[in-house]
Structure 1
Amino acid sequence: MAVAGPPPPPPPPAAAIPSFAVACRLVWQRYSCLVVAPHRRHVALAPRYLGRKRTGIRAQLDAELLRYSESLQGVPVAYDNIKVVGELGDIYDDQGFIHLNIEADFVIFSPKKGKKLVGVINKVAPSHIGCLIHGCFNASIPKPEQMSVVQWQDLGLKIGDELKFQVLHLDSDAAGVFFIRGGLTKSRLKPKKSETVTDSTNGDETQKLDHQGNSLNDSGGDYVTEEPHDETKNTGKENAEEQSVSAVNGLCDGKNKKKKKNA
């Protein structure tokens, strides 16, 4: 007799998931690491959704929000404009599921190592700082090993403050829950003068550590080494691509387009 496996983890609370319109507005914020783009994917609907396939499609997509997706290369935050590809679904072998191909517009959270994010501090501990990004994603910024607890406290970081940090490590568990580890920029630290360099691009200073080298995956929770190369150029290119996608596909409302022109 086959033993049923453990039930799948419940989806994140609905209150934490923004609507598609709200997520589109977040795309235009600096350091958002959000992109909006159409995507085609396969779904398998249970027989109970016969005659109400859109309800079944939405139920399946809702369960996948805020969980890392290999096909999307990021974490879906919101979706809209669902279209079923083809008039009929398929049944494989003797399975009862109806297989369909769909297209939808997705807002995807896709941070990369070395990029910057802005979060709201929701925890200040002796060993780390916790941040909430876009009201959905948790990030942890460990205390640098070289910094004393007193120096850490003297930074004056408080719950509710916005904090800009650099992404050092990304991971997800078996359920797709996303984990972010970051490092503070030099503008939020008080390191030794001999160990600092100034970034002429945006005025932020970051600390350079010899032992850290070029690795961003060091588990010590140290200072950020240096700004990513050509970050300003990359940010502009990404924003241009996002704006182009939005303009061509009409994914976001007119306010977003107006905001793009004023940017």
Structure 2
Amino acid sequence: MSISIVRTVAGLREQINEWRHAGYRLGLVPTMGALHEGHLSLVRLAKEHADKTVVTLFVNPKQFNRPDDLAAYPRSEADDAGKLAGVGADLLFAPEPEEMYPEGFSTTVSVAGVSEGLCGAFRPGHFDGVATVVAKLLLQSQPDVAVFGEKDFQQLAVIRRLVADLNIPVSIVGGATVREDDGLAMSSRNLRLTANGRTIASRLSDALFGAAQQISSGEGPDAAIARAKAEILAAGFSEVEYLELRDAGTLAPVTRPGRPARLLAAAWLDGVRLIDNVPVGYSSGVPR
């Protein structure tokens, strides 16, 4: 089993136009490759909402604020194509950087508010790069539905705001975070961990789930967060970049029980930046 691969916007639109004329509903799953079960779960989710599913593979240089991080990002197109064929994706769009950003390209899409703080504070320009490439992919493919993972929760919020503000006619669906057996959120960056780092990495999710439970049970967020940070560092992480409680809808900081919230974190291990987030549930101002 194989999957069709196109590398130009013209080729992508030619196939999409055929599907549109046939009356098919279209789903889109943007990725940067090095696919794992988390990505494949998004493809399966897209197939539930659409007749034909396009997956994009593009390591977007505009969302990397460190050249070494871009260079080290894993790339495995042939393996990715095989995995996508196995889950029934219909088309892989894998453009070169010059196709996405031809000579003279000078437009940047910037989303304020939800892009500020958290990853936005530590990765200057990152969400401008995300918003720009996602806007392009949505305009190039014009899908009915596009699926993004909740693991990158702030990114999902940025994309929802982008689509709402620019009146892009697409439904954005968030896919639940897929985890390894020990709780570590699946990520392409996990491939860069040492064997010892991989055994430590799951302590990030352990600390987050523990703090979320404590906050949901009525403990003050500050105390629970401080304890979680200490646990992460004691496990062997070199730095906790942030660990914050934010409103699940607006990403505004949360200091007391109220609306459903999200506990989000970024931490460094083995020179690899890992991110994760877990829900914190409240009902009518009373923790649950």
TM range (shorter): under 0.3
The structure whose residues are more often strand, as a share, is: 1
TM-score, normalised on structure 1? 0.22
The structure whose residues are more often helix, as a share, is: 2
